Structure formats: C-alpha cells, structure tokens
A and B are shown apart, each in its own frame.
Chain A
C-alpha cells in the first residue's frame, strides 16, 4: 500500500484549507457557533420562557449540554467534497484526475479529510478541557471522535454516490442540497433525535446520519453504555461497507457515461 501519495494528499489538503487562516477560522466559528447559539436560544425559549421542565426526558441543562457537545462533532461530519466532485464531472476537469495513477475518489477524500482531522484534534482537546469541569471522560470523548470520523467516511461515500448523478444530469447539485438539508436534521445537529415521537423514530434509526453527531454525543455524555457503543460501532462499520459498495457501483457505472465536455 503506497502511503507516500496519501500522506502528500493529506498535507496538501491541510495547506489548502488553511491557506486563508482567518477565513478558515471564521468558517469554523460561524458554522459551529451560530447554529449552536440558535439552538440554545430555542431551549431557553422552550424551558425558561415557556415554563417546560422536561422535554422527551431531557431537562434544560441536559439540552444545553447536548447542544454544546454536538458542536464538537458537527465540525467533523463532512464537507462539500460531493459538490467538488459533481462540479469536476460537470465541467470536465475530472479528466486531469483520471489520468493520474491514483484513485480519484480516494485522493479527493484524503485531501478533504485533512482539515477534518485537524478539527477533530482541536475539538478533542477543547472537549477534554471542558470535560474537566463537566465530568466528561476523555476516553469516551476519544471513542466518540472515532465514531464521528466513521460518520465522516459514510457521509463521503453516500454523498459521492449521489454526486455520480452528475454523469447523467447537469442539475445534480439539487440532490446534494436536499441531502444536506436532510442530514442536518437527521444527524442530530438541529435537535436531539430523542425529541422524535415513537411513531417517527424509525426514520432516524434506519438511516446512518445519526452516526455523524447524535451518536458521538451519546457516547461522550455517557448516555450509551459500552454494549450500546459497540452495537452502534457495528452498525457504522456495516454502513461503511454498504457505502463503499454503493459508491463503487455508481462510480463504475457513471464513469462509462463521462463525456469530459470542457475538460
């Protein structure tokens, strides 16, 4: 297994992402803090102004804790690599990558993973520091990070499988935007998934998106016992394998349709 080009891709990805450091910082702070702040205000309105004491078994303090911990994992879940691949297919610039003796998808993924690993390291350190005061276990945080990174892989696989629609349809971006909207809702980024009613919880349980944010939060805050953690890691690995198969199938099918117009 040639690690040299993979390591080079990783370094290149990190350099690329942090070329404009202020912009990188603003993007992280904006994407992390603004949604979390809005959530916290929603809980404030629900509990403090509305007078609710418990919602779906969660108190105000536990809602705030969920929201803050979810910020650590929402940054890792996945970027816009699917849009990048879709644009490469659409514009024909994929041709330059096909000619190279490396896997296109793996190259793009590793390059995109670099800033996420960097963020994961920062979030882990921040989480440990905050956890010192709130009793979060560093071991649990580390395992939660591993699940979040698995979630990142699954997100890439599913997103890129969807992006292969670009081989057939120019407006594939709409599918990716729909996917992003659904993921933000079903990953637990907007609200804890325990707020879903019993009739509708099958929706998030039958999809892998909860692995991105909700699952890691449940590990980090100690809600899931070790048996449950192992169970959900097993599900994540199965989704990884399914995602790998899905991506291979659609990519191999779609590349036969590739026209390289403009490339």
Chain B
C-alpha cells in the first residue's frame, strides 16, 4: 500500500512539473490541436464518403461508427497525454544510457520511464474526442442511464491495451539499436485500430483480438458500451491483456539484464 501511495505521489509531482514545462511552450498547444483536428477531419471525411454510398458497413451504422471514432480518439488522446512522449524517448533511454538515472531512484524505473514526460496539450484532443462520443452516443444507441459507469472502465481498458501494445513494440530496443524501425511498424499496425474490427476477415479479426489486440483500443470498447460484446468476448479481453502484461513484465526484466549503462 505504501509503495502504491509513493508512486501516486511521484505521479502527482510529474504532473505538476509537466504542467509548468508545457505552460512555457504555448505554441505546442496550437500545433497539437491543428494536427489532431485535421486527422479527425480526414477520418470523418473517409467514413462520410463511404456512408454516402451505403447505409451500413459490416453491421455498423454511420452514427455507430462516429461513436466508435469518439471512443477511439478519446482513448488515443489519453495515451498521448500520459505515455506517448515517453515512448518516443524510450530508445534514447536505453541507447544513450539515460536509464541509469532512473535505475538508481527509489521507485520502479519503468514507472518513472513511462510517466516522466506528459503531453498535457493533448487534453484538448481528449475533450474533442469526448464531445464526438457524447454527441453520437444517443444516436448510436448507448444507454447512458444504465451504462454510464462502463465508460470509465472501457476507456481504461482501451488505454491499457494501447500502453501494452506500444510497450511490446518498444521493448526490443534492448536487443536492437533500430528503435525507429520498430516505432514505424507500430504505427503501421496502428492504422488497423482506426476501423471497426468487424470489417476485417476472420483471420485478421482473430489476430487483432488476441495476439495483436489493436481492436481493444477503440472498437471493442465501443462495442462493449453499445452492449454488443458477449461474456466470452469480455473474458477474452481480460485474458489477453493479462497475458500481454505478464509478457511485457518478463521482457522488461530480460531487457534490463542486457542493458549496458552509460558508465559501462
């Protein structure tokens, strides 16, 4: 319990430090908003064009797809706020020996590595994602009265899934110095998560619901919130994420054994 409280306090300090830092670079706020607005615009335009030619797409109506996009953008924005910058810095931590500083601190080094930098300007994008989510929730058939608490649960599931996936693409930096290539591969696969999982054929769908659970970022939470996820599928989500978490923990420990610090 003390350890958990200690890490919560450290998180609070990280949050304050990042807020002060971000307040200095105000133009970052504007640039982050512009880029994400255009990205959201492109995704919406793509689906608008598709839906101008058909009433449904793999069982999803237009409003359900927009609801899914709201969930997806919100979860992705949360990831951007808390973790994205840390993953960009992750290869430098290992390659340049900057992990040394974190290893000597009286807190879990991975926790420090993944929470050190925050992109608080992405908070605007989270709000935008939430607005889209709320706007289309009734039209999509989301029952606020009985399922409002599920929003926090499934947004957390989406965030955790994205964290686990990003980590498993980043951890190999301990074995190779080509971190950039791995990041590019992650972002290529990430495109799969920008579409509802039901559009994919069985084999691909099975893969993105198990081995590479990109569907857990937006599509599965959206289906869960709309009450379209079976108990078996919910169980699958938690089993897959537990396995991924365990695997990531194992790879982290193995990676640390290979780590050559700056002083060695």
Contacts and interface: CB of A to CB of B under 8 A. Distances in A.
A262 interface: no
A56 B53 contact: yes
Given A26-B181, A170-B27, A178 B50 contact: no
B39 interface: yes
A163 to B, nearest CB: 15
Contacts of B35: 174, 177-178, 181
A185 B191 contact: no
Interface stretch (B11-19, B54-62, B242-250, B251-259): B54-62
Contacts of B57: 42, 45-46, 50
A45 B58 contact: yes
A255 interface: no
Contacts, number: 88
Contact of B201 (A26, A41, A46, A191): A41
Nearest to B178: A23
A197 to B, nearest CB: 6
A55 B51 CA distance: 11
B52 interface: yes
B203 to A, nearest CB: 11
A38 B56 CA distance: 17
B184 A30 contact: yes
Contacts of B28: 171
A108 interface: no
Given A42-B199, A169-B27, A185-B42, A52 B53 contact: yes
B97 to A, nearest CB: 22
A55 B52 CA distance: 10
Contact of B31 (A38, A56, A171, A195): A171
Tell me which of A41, A56, A197 has the highest count of chain B C-beta atoms within 10 A of its own C-beta.
A41
Interface string B185-222: 10011011001001111001000000000000000000
Interface residues of A, number: 36
B49 A46 contact: no
Q: Is the interface of A mostly helix, strand, loop or mixed?
A: helix
B38 to A, nearest CB: 5
A34 B207 CA distance: 14
A37 B188 CA distance: 11
A182 interface: yes
A27 B181 contact: yes
Contacts of A46: 50, 53-54, 57
A235 B33 CA distance: 34
B42 A49 contact: no
Contact of B185 (A26, A37, A52, A55): A26
A31 interface: yes
A174 B29 CA distance: 11
Contact of A55 (B30, B45, B54, B56): B54
Nearest to A54: B53
A177 B32 CA distance: 10
A41 B204 contact: yes
B234 interface: no
A50 B58 contact: yes
A44 interface: yes
A27 B200 contact: no
A247 B118 CA distance: 36
A214 to B, nearest CB: 14
B27 A185 contact: no
A170 B198 CA distance: 42
5 contacts: A26-B185, A30-B184, A42-B50, A44-B199, A174-B31
Given A26-B185, A30-B188, A174-B35, 10 more contacts: A34-B189, A42-B199, A49-B59, A52-B54, A171-B30, A185-B45, A185-B46, A195-B50, A196-B49, A197-B52
Interface of B: 27-28, 30-32, 34-35, 38-39, 42, 45-46, 49-50, 52-54, 56-59, 178, 181, 184-185, 188-189, 191-192, 195, 198-201, 204
The 4 nearest A-B residue pairs measured at CB? A174-B31, A45-B199, A45-B58, A30-B188
